[in-house]
Amino acid sequence: MTDNRFDPSSADGRWQRAWDEAGTFTADSNSDKPKSYVLEMFPYPSGRIHMGHVRNYTMGDVLARYKKMRGHEVLHPMGWDAFGMPAENAAMEKKVHPGSWTRSNIEAMKAQLKRIGFALDWTREFATCDPEYYGHEQALFLDMYEAGMVYRRSSEVNWDPVDMTVLANEQVIDGKGWRSGAEVEKRKLDQWFLKITDFAEDLLDGLGELDHWPEKVKLMQENWIGKSQGLEFSFELSNGEKLPVYTTRPDTIFGASFCAIAADHPISQGLADDPAVAAFIEECKRGGTTAAALETAEKLGYRTDITAKHPFTGEPLPVFIANFVLMDYGTGAVMGVPGHDQRDFEFATKYDLPIQRVVAKDLESADAPMGDEAEPGDGVIIHSDFLNGLSVEHAKADVINRAEDGGWGEGTTVWRLRDWGVSRQRYWGTPIPFIHCETCGIVPVPKDQLPVKLPEDVDFETPGNPLERHPTWKHVDCPTCGGKARRETDTLDTFTNSSWYFLRFASQPEDKPFDPEEIAKWMPVEHYIGGIEHAILHLLYARFWTRALARLGKFEVKEPFASLFTQGMVTHETYSLGDGSWLSPDEVRKDGADWIRIEDGAPVTAGRVVKMSKSKKNVVDPDNIIEKYGADSVRWFMLSDSPPERDLPWSEAGIEGCWRFVQRLWRLFDQIDQTATGEDKALARKAHQAIVAVAEDIEALSFNKAVARIYELTGAAEKAKPSESRNFAIRTILHLIAPMMPHLAEEAHARMASGLIADAHWPEHDEAMLVEDEVTIAVQHKGKLRDTLTVPKGASKEDLEALALASEKVQRSIDGAEIRKVIVVPDRLVNIVT
RNA sequence: GCGGGUGUGGCGGAAUGGUAGACGCCGGGGACUUAAAAUCCCCUGAUCCUUGAUCGUGCGGGUUCGAGUCCCGCCACCCGCACCA
């Protein structure tokens, strides 16, 4: 009566259309059901959906469908993070407009997502490059400006002196420009900043309320915000000036043997008349602006003639200009304590400065010779006059007190977090809505003139910012005085686009960014899922925007994402030829134990399993897989085996196994026997236990465990003889897999009932059916397993002990030794200690 | 350099301090078939003196009747570092 094979090539599309036509996944904000907002980080439209997307969206999809089965009104939207550099690169390489390149990518990727059968509300789709979206973003940016959260200052960028253009960190390879190959320099530009540091305390405290965020992400954000307590004080300099410095280790002040200031510190700049100083400052401009580049660069210093007077000893300390001191952090000047800071240690070794230990592990080791690195650890203070014998903690407090009493310093809090530079000298982003007027200065674009749209007619033939070069776009009249003025040609960092998109998904009125009442209905996002690579920047910026908008009175929500899940990457084995060139998986095959190239039989080395990437050619295209196995097999693969937070190795064998399981289920679903009677208590119990366990696993996002349980129940149902219990078990499996393999589930459901299984309820379980009658307990002798016993559940300690001692195997192991102790854990084990 | 993480069979991984290896993949053996595919059944951590025993969760210590799990110290690998998204 039915085919004995499930055919996804016809079923998948049929059910996808059925869901579309019924509007099954359209979220109704007026529903009186409890609301659930499930969101995956929206994709950048790079051109093709990759396996990482499939994994991410499958997890969210299972949650969304499960929540719906649990009676929730679910919002599960999708859109496009559409601004960014790849579109401009494509424009340069392929001579296409970034907008049309992006639009056609979106169209292709949307079709791919549809083929996987995601339960998405497409009615709310948008792209961040839609003028409507970025216009509202400009309005929000102006609101933040009015509230004093936006300002301008000069800041360093990577400058390519050959291409005459600003480079992203990504475009700096080994300190050189990626196109020109020229040595990159630091250059200062006037740029726009958002005052995220005003929210440092709030963002830090807010982490405490995020109970459903991974600890590691919270810890990373905490370290990133980097609250530190320390002492800010001033050295008196030999030239009569004062040098304010900040230190987190005032306890080590007697170990200071030099001071170091940043190259762009005012004192350094004041000495720049000296050609040697000027040359050194120039030297410091070499190299990129990333933390890693700065930290790993060789420590360089220039010894000035100035000395600083130690506040306690009065000793003169040499003042150096040094490349490892940052003007952006603290005061741009530090006291160097080589004994207890690794950077200072290296610097002191290089420039032959004294290295004195002032914190020792204990008094005995106080005068042991210093090793070849600094000692940053805790201990007791030595060689420090009145601090001797104090703990690090007490010494810190003592020095701060004395500085405050003496009026030469004070205890302060310093944050590692820096204000967010949002200026980008690029075309494909949100234009920053300001006008520079010769007479009025900086003037916001009036809101009724938003959006400030990007011009369409731009060229990418010459490097640099096309908005700057455009013949007319930047020339405007001042909105205040009507005089000649110039548009801001910087665009906003793409991270601003992704800092509020979840609000626009929840509510999208035409005349404003969002409607507070709708926000109140849906926010916060209940489940937010995405890559660990966003642990800091995107997630911190989104938290910041939400708090900033709340401070502006736009809504009450303070934290956008109630729970966060960071998923692992999809990886694949790599294949290479003897010459080191990479081969793609479909160019090779296994020949016995070895790998060969299909084309000519050349030997191939199977290498490490790493993240799928174009450069390693170990990419598997989801479309080809769906074509061959259907959407459900791929979805099942994404959920199986690996825990979702870890990497998932893609394998051909694995997807084959999923395909076989789809067919196994299909055959099983055909075996409901309406004439069957009788109870199979063991199977019924397994089914009830699975209903509870799979629900718990899905809610904990432990999809791999849910999958294993479904395999177990399936195996048991297959083996069982027909009975009412078996029919129940089969129908249970059908509902348990519905969120994971929705097409197969609909197809099978349609043959036994009317309506969509997507609209069905999660099966009910019977509490009484969960309890086992019998348990297997372990019998140990001195902690080693000797025997097992099957006993009724709840057997008494005495009975268990007697049964254990009666075991022949146990007696042989004890071998007549004296029994000193017997530990009995009911329903678990008996441990006999001799 | 700084910060974060991971480590269990041939592979992916299970395991409230209580029977290590659930479940899947690979591999081996068998059934069915003219044959193949599909399907079904059985086996599959290592070693040995094989009715059984010993060893075994990156390495070295410790706590405990009992440690993959808790504590201390290492090693290896991976990820992030503010203009990639």
Residues 176-195 of A with CB under 7 A from strand B: 189, 191
Radius of gyration of chain A measured on its C-alpha atoms = 33
Q: How confident is the model at residue A3 (pLDDT cuts 50, 70, 90)?
A: low
Residue A106 has pLDDT above 90, yes or no: yes
Q: Dump pLDDT digits (tens) for A476-531.
A: 999 999 999 999 999 999 999 999 999 999 999 999 999 999 999 999 999 999 98
Nearest in space to A413 (alpha carbons), one of A252, A256, A218, A246: A246
Q: Dump pLDDT digits (tens) for A184-222.
A: 888 889 999 999 999 999 999 999 999 899 988 999 999
Q: Is the CB of A606 under 7 A from strand B?
A: no
Q: Dump pLDDT digits (tens) for A341-389.
A: 878 888 888 888 888 888 887 777 777 777 777 777 777 888 888 988 8
- Chain B: nucleotides below 7 Å from protein CB are 1-6, 11-16, 18-20, 22-26, 38-41, 52-55, 65-67, 79-85
Q: Is the CB of A493 under 7 A from strand B?
A: yes
Higher pLDDT, A181 or A379: A181
Residue A139, pLDDT score:
97
Q: Is the CB of A808 under 7 A from strand B?
A: no
Spatial distance from the CA of A625 to the C1' of B60 (Å):
47
Nearest in space to A602 (alpha carbons), one of A622, A588, A615: A588
Q: Is the CB of A784 under 7 A from strand B?
A: yes
- Find the helix or strand (DSSP H, E) in which A160 lies: strand A150-160
Residues 4-33 of A with CB under 7 A from strand B: none
Higher pLDDT, A432 or A180: A432
Residue A708, pLDDT score:
96
Residue A63, pLDDT score:
97
CA angle, A280 as apex, A240 and A317 as ends, to 5°? 35
Percent of the residues in chain A that have a pLDDT greater than 70, as a whole number: 99
Residue A173, pLDDT score:
84
- What average pLDDT does chain A have? 91
Q: How confident is the model at residue A824 (pLDDT cuts 50, 70, 90)?
A: very high
Nearest in space to A676 (alpha carbons), one of A722, A742, A630, A718: A722
Q: How confident is the model at residue A244 (pLDDT cuts 50, 70, 90)?
A: very high
Residues 416-455 of A with CB under 7 A from strand B: 416-418, 420-421, 423-425
Spatial distance from the CA of A825 to the C1' of B17 (Å):
12
Higher pLDDT, A760 or A374: A760
Residue A1 has pLDDT above 60, yes or no: no
Q: Dump pLDDT digits (tens) for A45-57.
A: 999 999 999 999 9
A381, A392 contact by CB (below 8 A): yes
* Cβ neighbours for A219, distance < 8 A, ≥ 6 positions apart: none
List beta partners, residue A791.
A775
Q: Dump pLDDT digits (tens) for A668-709.
A: 999 999 898 999 999 999 999 999 999 999 999 999 999 999
Q: Is the CB of A412 under 7 A from strand B?
A: no
Q: Looking at residues A251-263, what average pLDDT do you find? A: 90
Spatial distance from the CA of A506 to the C1' of B11 (Å):
43
Q: How many CB atoms lie within 10 A of CB A405?
A: 9
Residue A127, pLDDT score:
97
Least confident among A322-336, A415-429, A462-476, A748-762: A322-336
Q: Dump pLDDT digits (tens) for A400-415.
A: 999 999 998 999 888 8
User: Residue A295, exposed/middle/buried by CB under 10 A (0-12, 13-18, 19+)?
Assistant: exposed
On the CB side of A403, CA atoms within 13 Å amount to: 26
Q: List the alpha helices (DSSP H) in A357-463.
A: 392-406
Residue A592, pLDDT score:
64
Residue A218, pLDDT score:
92
Reported ipTM: the value is 0.94
- Find the helix or strand (DSSP H, E) in which A173 lies: strand A172-173
Q: How confident is the model at residue A281 (pLDDT cuts 50, 70, 90)?
A: confident
Q: Is the CB of A153 under 7 A from strand B?
A: no
Residue A2, pLDDT score:
45
Least confident among A508-512, A516-520, A649-653, A762-766: A649-653
